[in-house]
Amino acid sequence: MQVISFIASYGAWSWIVAGLVLLALELVVPGGFLVWMGIAGIVTGLMLFFQPISWPLQWLLFGGLSLIAIFVWVRWSRTRPPDSDHPQLNQRAESLLGQVLVLQGPLVGGFGRAAVGDSVWRVSGPDLPAGARVRVTGSNGPVLTVAPVEQAS
């Protein structure tokens, strides 16, 4: 009941201060949710300056604004492509798609090894002799899937 009496005595300022406290807590507890709850608290306080409403409706307004803001933020952040100058960082196998490699040894039983720059990767595909040229068509974890490159005549 102390929270209710505090809100009733200070009105809009209590919501604005609570919103600022939530914004400050976001610096300590990252995650993004407290930002939107803080903004909802500040908006609730600003609305009370113009239209006084009872404290149950204030809580309803704060909760509704918080949920809407968090929902919109989550939807927007999931659909936004990541901003990166290296979009395939830590996804090296995907960056090798389409490249032509040379087999280090024969591809027997569906598996072999191919040179990729200064390293050797495990590859899977049809049986081929050592030295054959193959194109990377996909990957399954650290194993590259390859297909033979047709020789031009």
- Note the pLDDT of residue 41: 92
List the CATH number of the domain containing 136: 2.40.50.140
Q: For residue 22, report the phi and psi dihedrals to the nearest 5 degrees.
A: -65, -40
Domain that holds residue 42: 2-79
Residues 12, 62 within the same domain: yes
Dump pLDDT digits (tens) for 7-55: 667 778 888 998 999 999 998 887 778 999 999 999 999 999 898 888 8
- At residue 3 the predicted structure's pLDDT band, cuts being 50, 70 and 90, is low
Which of 57, 79, 101 terminates a domain? The answer is 79
Find out whether 23 and 33 touch, Cβ atoms under 8 Å.
no
Residues 57, 119 within the same domain: no
- Flag whether 12 is in a domain: yes
Residues 109, 135 within the same domain: yes
Dump pLDDT digits (tens) for 107-133: 888 899 998 888 888 999 999 998 889
CA distance 36 to 67: 9
